[in-house]
Amino acid sequence: MKRVRNKSPLRLGRDAERLITLSTGLAVSGSRAEDRVWEAEISALVIKAIEGSNDPTLDSALDHTFKSNPLAHDVLVELIEAAAESATLTVNGANWDVLLLALPMVAWSRYAIPSGPVPQAISDDIITHLQAHVLARNARAAMSPYLYSIDQMPRDFSNVRKMTVKLGGAAIEQTHPRFDFSHAPETAPLLADSRFLLAAVAVTQGAPLFRWQEKSEKQTRTDCLERWVAQGRPNLARLLPGTAFECCLPDAYFHNCRESDRRVRPYALRAAVGFLEDTLKTNPGHLRAIIAGVGDEMVDEYRIAFTSRGQDEVVHGIVWPLFGREDDESPEVSQRTPREEIEAILKECKIGEVLKLPELFAPEFCEDCGAPLFVDADKEMVHAELPEEADAAPAHYH
């Protein structure tokens, strides 16, 4: 499993060094019997760090193994994520397996994409369809009553674990979880973005979590997705008025965070071109796109700057993040590298000129507003700014 690496190295403590040693042992293990010993020791150390809110220990071990031992990194991140998004809870003497789920919607709109509190009636309807089409028959579920943007999601492993335990307990006891959303961060006004509902599924220890795991059902993940889209989507649409969206199969938290981030990238690029057409009253043939790889030691993301052809000012920009070791040397299933996929979308959008810069640029951000800077045709990092006469503010749908 892949994870975006940290941008700067963190100091290694004793527990981080131990995690590196253990994950290195697991990476070269020759049997499942040996694996189980390594995994048990790693998991105990990881849970200790998570429950102590000691995320820097985990981050530094992941950053170190990412650079020095990719196999060790992959097995370590899998165990850390599992410890954060799953748990075994004991309630009234019974043991329950709990998994935190993300229910992603990849959305795009000419209006501001909604986020915020979800009415209880809609939450209950969504849970009903989740249990009917995705979860195992005897599974219990509870959902946070909020439609999250990525900036509002729990990010640290320790906070993900807290969400897992809180929602898991509510699922077991069949109660409505209570949250305080008064301090939720503002949502970035993007033309294409992901929205998430968070839920927990709880089953008696060792029982199936999902419908496709049950022998009696004979359903595949594809079958469950089709039913979820057909039956669950109308309730999700009530949360996203004036917005087109693709809903993904509910699944484990970290997996679906990455999956939605991957899926939103092409929509974000296409939406940017449409936005510039409307805002600048132009057509794509009069636009130029500049593709630049950005990172400290390797390409962590591509930044695509847009200018009018024949002009230097960057009027808009899109960040195309890479995940884990996704780069030009490891094309995805499409057999296209990320840069090739970007070029293909720009060609599809009929952009007049595409400039591909071979250099690696340092990740720079605006000191005043924190926005990412983009590379112009002179290979300088600049702020993307629309002309003063352009009306760029997204309206809310009413």
Per-residue confidence (pLDDT) for residue 224, from 0 to 100: 96
Per-residue confidence (pLDDT) for residue 4, from 0 to 100: 43
pTM attached to this predicted model: 0.86
pLDDT mean over 138-165:
95
- Is the pLDDT score of 111 beyond 80? no
For helices 55-68 and 157-173, angle between their N-to-C axes, nearest 10 degrees: 120
- In the three-class reduction of DSSP (H, G, I as helix; E, B as strand; rest coil), residue 364 is classed as coil
Structure-block tokens of residue 162: 């807290």
Name the average pLDDT for the chain. Answer: 90
- Is the pLDDT score of 100 beyond 60? yes
pLDDT digits 0-9 by tens, 284-293? 999 999 999 9
Phi, psi of 25 (to 5 degrees): -65, -45
Per-residue confidence (pLDDT) for residue 390, from 0 to 100: 61
What is the C-alpha separation between 10 and 64, in angstroms, rounded?
8
What is the share, in percent, of the chain residues with pLDDT greater than 70?
92
pLDDT mean over 65-72:
93
Q: Residue 77: which pLDDT band, with cuts at 50, 70 and 90?
A: very high
What is the C-alpha separation between 105 and 246, in angstroms, rounded?
6
Q: Residue 112: which pLDDT band, with cuts at 50, 70 and 90?
A: confident
What does 115-138 look like in DSSP terms, one character per residue? Answer: -EE--HHHHHHHHHHHHHHTB-TT
What is the share, in percent, of the chain residues with pLDDT greater than 90?
75
What is the C-alpha separation between 300 and 324, in angstroms, rounded?
8
DSSP bridge pairs for 102:
198, 251
Count the neighbouring beta carbons within 10 Å of the beta carbon of residue 214.
17
Tell me the domain boundaries of the chain: 14-83, 92-262, 281-382
Residue whose structure tokens are 């509910």:
250
Per-residue confidence (pLDDT) for residue 62, from 0 to 100: 95
pLDDT digits 0-9 by tens, 178-229? 998 888 888 877 889 999 999 999 999 999 999 999 988 789 999 999 999 9
Structure-block tokens of residue 7: 């941008």
Per-residue confidence (pLDDT) for residue 5, from 0 to 100: 45
What does the DSSP 8-state code read for residue 230? I
Per-residue confidence (pLDDT) for residue 109, from 0 to 100: 82
| Residue environment code for 308-338, b if the CB has 16+ CB neighbours within 10 A, otherwise e | beeeeebbbbbebbbbbebbeeeeeeeeebb
pLDDT digits 0-9 by tens, 357-384? 999 999 999 888 888 999 999 999 999 9
What is the C-alpha separation between 159 and 150, in angstroms, rounded?
14
Per-residue confidence (pLDDT) for residue 328, from 0 to 100: 47
pLDDT mean over 220-245:
94
pLDDT digits 0-9 by tens, 10-37? 578 899 999 999 999 999 999 999 999 9
Q: Are 257 and 321 in contact (CB under 8 A)?
A: no
Residue whose structure tokens are 């030009």:
328
395 or 55, which is more confident: 55
pLDDT mean over 118-136:
96
Q: Are 6 and 62 in contact (CB under 8 A)?
A: yes
Per-residue confidence (pLDDT) for residue 301, from 0 to 100: 93
What does 192-219 look like in DSSP terms, one character per residue? Answer: EEEEEEEEEEEEETTS--BGGG-TTT--
Of 231, 261, 264, which is closest to residue 246 (Cα–Cα)?
Answer: 264
pLDDT mean over 243-261:
93
Per-residue confidence (pLDDT) for residue 184, from 0 to 100: 86
